[in-house]
Structure 1
């Protein structure tokens, strides 16, 4: 008997795997998107180069929005291990996300099966429990809404928290089944529950509701009655105090003051957010039961509820949620699965869909709350199949066919949605079509055209159009729009306009918490000032940046270069030595610092040292335009014209002669901010060209 069960379970898991693989296989080549960049690609503490304990420990404090804080360490460690094996290649990250989704589906099935065999439910549900649990898990796993939590790489934080949560629920259910068996087995499963809970919390904070979810399971599946008894009141009170205490432990004693103070940068208040979320949560429900791809988007346009009567749908939403939350306490005896599913859904939305200062709406927030939402639907289908199996074959086969079609439609919807996630262009074009009055799609689609297509005109136009669109944080949207417009002006050589846009961007964020992110923009502004000849202003900015962010090698490096360029070689070399000591050998700052040393030693007459640093740079990576320019200058100063000529030939295989001349005249936007002697290289290059023409 047990062998038959094992074979049946294995066949089911294999079916889950194949169906999910078909639905998600397009996602394996999906691009990096949106928050993937700051959380993974630009989050250098996650970039593991060795599996040493100290390096692994550093990843626990790598959450970019709270640098140096022990936050989401499990998620961070998983990204770091991905980086160690795959660097910036997306396939490995998507593969891990897929398996997280698969294992979550398996444990959801196992948990549903245990719920259906619990004391209060066993014998009351008609139909095959195995079929009910399988359909409930499949309807959840293949739902197109889940693509945002699975395909969007950074949302591994949400899917990991959900996976460990469902494993914790399964451990609890297994422990409850062991009451008549050995204490050792109970202890084993309760220990597993605690471990899963800690891992879930280390993945994302919304997992803190696991204890409350277990209270809900205890009441609906193991208690004889659900009433406000003294025992139940004590359970609820202890659960609330536990969640409150753990929140304070994680975030500090002033957590609630900080939450409400942070709303100063929002276009809505805490009460307005709560009212708006009432409409959003009902919208989530509609998406889960009608997840047509044309309804799904990374960005949704939501009107903020300014009062319970504006818009009037807010009143209906609040009343509807009130009814949905109260009804289960009256209907739980007759409809226990439905009552539990509704309360579990709303309970697990309380962290992200109430008063916390988060973005208003994201589809991935449904991943965990929707776990048991399809259990009543699956039960109804199974009951009908069981009822008509012997009576009316036509209805029986219609039900079987309709269920298979439903699974097929869900699979196709997920497949279609995953294709939208393939590239930045497809994702943001889709978002722009569905949310044409929101700033996000314009800014991010503009970034795509700027970085990937080099279509500066289209990128500038999209950034410009974003300025009069809606945003929950208007100043932040304007900050990025002006920043991008300034960068485009820099690229085309219109430095005055670039500086104007940069100043606009800085003024938007100066008096906000986002001001701490101004450093990269100030660095770019300093580089533009240097190109316009305002070198003292550029150095003032860089001096301030190195004081404010001494741990950032790119600021120390840039300031060191500028000091050398202003004939302050001793001060510049000291900073560059610090960069070399603190940087990873594979980083850009490290290689650029080597080139700076090469130039300094060339000017001092230490030719061999100069060539050593340049060759070392080339050993770390292919020759670049800056490294070849350094080689040309060092070769000229060493009077080794053959080496200089060879370096020019290598350089002209990468750029054109007009581009080369523009760099030497310091008119190119690609001119390296290196302490190069451009007139010296220009004079030699013209001589080299003349000799080449004579030959």
Structure 2
């Protein structure tokens, strides 16, 4: 290895070490709401059977994301107390992705003849370095469940590297080149998609590379057609899937309260907000909670769409002089096709930029190293200073995240209408001070989130057994009034599990009848109209009805839930338990058989599960309050 290579290796090592150091303050193992929802079942992994159920029973997306879940199996021991180890592993994946992006950029730049060989290394390294230290991407590493995003990127980047590497044989052995390119990309995209569905976008990244930045003189026409046809087919398929032919753009989604068209218009504005956060970051501007983001209409939408059109037009007109303006736009927009268009997802998450932002990083690096005339030497200098400034902001961000209470207070200040931010902070206060007093004081004095039912519910929970019964009753009355009109929340429905065992965990003066009335108000709230909310609330209504001795009412609620989704196993188990309790075993068995004949059964309702349930009720009827509740959680 010559001196030049030693220097390059030293720079790479220095950068990776600096990024690792910058993230250290935040690797304390803080867990957030999405972590418990998506990977909270880790504590149930006890043997091979439960491990398989965890890996293939994911609900975060259509694929279940088994590869991402499998990567968490090594962290089973001492979960959730070992969350810091998960974050540390996330950081190593992030560093590895930075290396892969450096390799990919270097391979791409080899096809840019106007860029000298000595410059290619430094352009690729500076682009990857900027990407590694961007504060916008920090949440991908610092939120445990976002392992799904970074691991998907890792497999997809390996596929892209295989795709770009194949160009070297396109003149000497075209068939070999084609096989390497398409096989590598297909395997990488498949594995990426099994970690997170956005892995389906890697053929689009490959198409952008192939059509914009790879010089392909005098290659056989059949080779170009055979390579591009599956790439274009992937793009057409995704666009067709997102189009009004497959998605009703005007129908309001019951879960979120907006239409796909309204979401698309809003995302056009939010995409510019992401760019602002990426290019001009502040340490306090980032966080895990964005449930307060609202639909945007009017002039901001028009201006945002027009700005993207101008960016694309300028890039297209200048593509022969420099492809990088158009490359940056297409890579960014293409990378947001699934999560920032019309699909029914939450509006805003920083981790959605994990790969889409790299096209801008690479384009800026190329432009910085390619400045003309007398200013040519200053481009790399200022770009290096810019990377250092981004790194300084990243360190400021991780320092804040490393202090949970300071971070929580900052997130509530930034997002006063985010119920998730508020609930996260009050949980921190409760843990820090050991009693609910300060948490209640904070909840009683917050200025925002006036329609957050889950925040009122949390105050009620803290009040139980701590405040006077009259105060608890008043809090419950406030909660009931808000339940008829407040915004929907899964956290509210999850909180109701705490009241299932009032005999051993009383909350004077509340009784089961009070909680049943509350659930009826929730069921009548149009904001809770989506089936996922209704099923959850109906389950609670059935539990409390059964505990009150109202078996027929319980069965009525369960029949309503079954009609909404017959594949929910906790609903079936509760149905069977109530039927068995009132000695109607024939109807219990009929409920089981109805599920056995479903055309599309979920993995959690297999024949083995149904047979086990039959065995349980024919020997000793299950307890409706315990075995079922554990599964519902």
Match among 223, 235, 239 for residue 234 of structure 2: 239
Alpha-carbon distance, 1:575 to partner: 6.2
Asked if residue 488 in structure 1 is aligned to residue 462 in structure 2, the reply is: yes
3-state DSSP class of the match of 2:391? helix
Question: TM-score normalised to the size of structure 1?
Answer: 0.66
Q: Work out whether residues 499 and 505 of structure 2, in 8 Å CA contact, stay in contact via their aligned partners in 1.
A: no
Asked if residue 196 in structure 1 is aligned to residue 188 in structure 2, the reply is: yes
Match among 285, 295, 305 for residue 318 of structure 1: 305
Distance 2:181 2:260 in 1: 40
Which residue is equivalent to 1:48?
A: 45
Change (3 A) 1:276 1:159: same
Which residue is equivalent to 1:540?
A: 545
Distance 1:70 1:358 in 2: 16
Match among 491, 497, 511 for residue 520 of structure 1: 497
Alpha-carbon distance, 1:298 to partner: 3.6
Asked if residue 364 in structure 1 is aligned to residue 351 in structure 2, the reply is: yes
Q: Work out whether residues 136 and 375 of structure 1, in 8 Å CA contact, stay in contact via their aligned partners in 2.
A: yes
Change (3 A) 1:489 1:254: farther
Which residue is equivalent to 2:523?
A: none
Match among 59, 67, 84 for residue 91 of structure 1: 84
Change (3 A) 1:448 1:62: farther
Deviations 1:647-691 (A, max 9, x none): xxxxxxxxxxxxxxxxxxxxxxxxxxxxxxxxxxxxxxxxxxxxx
Give the number of the structure whose alpha-carbon radius of gyration is greater: 1
Alpha-carbon distance, 1:306 to partner: 5.2
Asked if residue 122 in structure 1 is aligned to residue 117 in structure 2, the reply is: no
Match among 340, 358, 366 for residue 379 of structure 1: 366
Alignment of 1:285-684 (within 5 A): 285-299=275-289, 304=294, 307-309=297-299, 313-384=300-371, 396=377, 402-464=382-444, 468-469=448-449, 477-478=452-453, 480-492=454-466, 494=469, 496-497=473-474, 500=477, 503=480, 517=494, 520=497, 523=500, 540-542=545-547, 544=554, 551=570, 574=620
Distance 2:194 2:91 in 1: 20
Q: Which runs of 5+ in 1 are unaligned?
A: 564-570, 590-695
Q: Please, what is the CA RMSD of the aligned residues?
A: 4.5
Distance 2:629 2:477 in 1: 33
Alpha-carbon distance, 1:131 to partner: 0.5
Distance 2:491 2:422 in 1: 20
Deviations 1:407-458 (A, max 9, x none): 3322221111112222442222111222335444333322322344345244
Which residue is equivalent to 1:271?
A: 261
Distance 2:502 2:475 in 1: 8
Alpha-carbon distance, 1:114 to partner: 0.8
3-state DSSP class of the match of 1:35? helix
Alpha-carbon distance, 1:459 to partner: 2.3
Which residue is equivalent to 1:81?
A: 74
Q: Work out whether residues 94 and 153 of structure 1, in 8 Å CA contact, stay in contact via their aligned partners in 2.
A: yes
Alpha-carbon distance, 1:156 to partner: 1.6
Asked if residue 101 in structure 1 is aligned to residue 94 in structure 2, the reply is: yes
Q: How many residues align?
A: 542
Q: Work out whether residues 443 and 466 of structure 1, in 8 Å CA contact, stay in contact via their aligned partners in 2.
A: no
Distance 1:9 1:124 in 2: 18
3-state DSSP class of the match of 1:368? coil
Q: Which shifted more, 494-503 or 57-66? A: 494-503
Q: Which shifted more, 215-224 or 130-139? A: 215-224
Distance 1:214 1:328 in 2: 19
Change (3 A) 1:33 1:125: same
Q: Work out whether residues 49 and 84 of structure 1, in 8 Å CA contact, stay in contact via their aligned partners in 2.
A: no
3-state DSSP class of the match of 1:63? coil
3-state DSSP class of the match of 1:256? coil
Question: TM-score normalised to the size of structure 2?
Answer: 0.72
Change (3 A) 1:319 1:166: same
Alpha-carbon distance, 1:73 to partner: 1.4
Change (3 A) 1:550 1:172: closer
Deviations 1:444-493 (A, max 9, x none): 322322344345244234445568537xxx6xx32x11321221221326
Change (3 A) 1:554 1:28: farther
